[in-house]
């Protein structure tokens, strides 16, 4: 147990030591998004009867949390692989399940911290409702865990930083940006609405937003089912990868 706790502590300390870059920077980015989009659209757009800045905030919180959860585990693994310091966590008696839990939980924690930071940074512009906090917590925790696990897959798979950047820019970014962070999918043409329904991140954002406003594009139970299933699938794949020793133990 202490091995797992130490690995979790190390992973948290790793991003906390550079929190200006890992927490403060994404909070600032989210604030800039809010300032620009709400300035342009506030007078023109309401979604589900909610003014646009308030509608946008939960989306930005979730998007930032998800992207940073992914960034945490993926960058930690690729860095330690490239520098070789990954041996320090491979030599001790730490099981692959403990390894998985430590990286995913640290990623989730960074996601939560960034998410909280975005709330604190944007609440000055608009205050969204908070109708069902438990849904909010459930979706951000599950979403962070999925992205943390995906980050592990990417970090283990990639041999070089540019491969990881490819994974991040061509998969994670489009999935999060096109998930309804900035809009309700009902505002999209039918074809793109259908495409969006294949994006699991859409359900994370939609369920998360339901917790604030009590309204959503799809039923929150549906979102929860999709997100929970995604979590189980991604976790199972990551655990299988770790168990096989793929690219970690030759």
Partner 1 sequence: MSVAVAIDRVEKRFGSVSALAGVSLQIGEGEFFGLLGPNGAGKTTLISCLAGLARPDTGKLVVMGHDVVTDYRAARRLLGVVPQELVFDPFFSVRETLRIQSGYFGIRNNGDWIDEILANLDLTAKADTNMRRLSGGMKRRVLVAQALVHKPPVIVLDEPTAGVDVELRQGLWQFVQRLNRDGHTVILTTHYLEEAEALCGRIAMLKQGRVVALDSTSNLLARFAGQTLNLRLASPGTLPEALRARATESGGRWTLPLADLGEIEPLLSTLREAGCSIEDLRLTQTDLEDVFLGVMQSTVSPNKAAV
Residue 189 sits in the site that holds partner 1 (CB under 8 A): no
For residue 169, the minimal CB distance to partner 1 (Å) is 25
Of 118, 111, 115, 14, nearest in space to 68 by CA: 111
Residue 43, interface with partner 1 (CB under 8 A)? no
Copy the structure tokens of residue 169: 């820019």
Q: Which is nearer to partner 1, 49 or 93 (CB)?
A: 93
Least Å from the CB of residue 159 to partner 1: 16
The footprint of partner 1 on residues 206-245 (CB under 8 A) is 245
Residues listed for the chain: 250
DSSP 8-state class, residue 51: E
DSSP, residue by residue, 168-220: IIIIIHHHHHTSSSSS-GGGS-HHHHHHHTT-HHHHHHHHHHHHHHS--SS-H
Rounded to 5 degrees, φ, ψ at 50 are -105, 135
Does the footprint of partner 1 cover residue 21 (CB under 8 A)?
A: no
The two three-digit tokens of residue 183, written as one number: 């809009």
Stretch that binds partner 1, among 12-20, 131-139, 163-171, 190-198 (CB under 8 A): 12-20
170 binds partner 1 (CB under 8 A): no
**Residues of the shown chain interacting with partner 1 in the complex, contacts defined by CB under 8 A:** 1-3, 5-7, 9-10, 13-14, 17-18, 80, 83-85, 87-95, 245, 249-250
């Amino acid at each position: 147990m202490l091995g797992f706790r130490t690995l979790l502590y190390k992973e948290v300390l790793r991003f906390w030591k550079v929190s200006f870059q890992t927490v403060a920077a994404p909070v600032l980015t989210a604030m800039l998004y809010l300032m620009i989009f709400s300035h342009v659209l506030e007078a023109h757009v309401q979604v589900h009867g909610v003014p646009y800045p308030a509608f946008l905030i939960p989306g930005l919180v979730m998007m930032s949390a998800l992207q940073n959860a992914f960034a945490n585990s993926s960058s930690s693994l690729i860095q330690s692989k490239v520098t070789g310091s990954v041996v320090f966590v491979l030599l001790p008696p730490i099981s692959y399940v403990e390894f998985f839990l430590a990286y995913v939980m640290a990623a989730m924690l960074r996601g939560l911290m960034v998410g909280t930071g975005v709330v604190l940074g944007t609440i000055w512009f608009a205050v969204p409702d908070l109708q069902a906090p438990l849904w909010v917590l459930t979706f951000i925790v599950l979403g962070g865990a999925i992205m943390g696990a995906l980050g592990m897959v990417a970090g283990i798979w990639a041999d070089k930083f540019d491969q990881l950047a490819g994974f991040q820019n061509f998969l994670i970014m489009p999935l999060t940006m096109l998930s309804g962070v900035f809009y309700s999918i009902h505002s999209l043409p039918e074809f793109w609405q259908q495409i969006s329904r294949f994006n699991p991140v859409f359900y994370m954002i939609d369920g998360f937003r339901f917790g604030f406003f009590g309204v959503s594009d799809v039923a929150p139970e549906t979102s929860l089912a999709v997100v929970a299933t995604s979590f189980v699938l991604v976790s199972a794949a990551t655990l299988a990868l770790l168990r096989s020793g793929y690219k970690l133990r030759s």
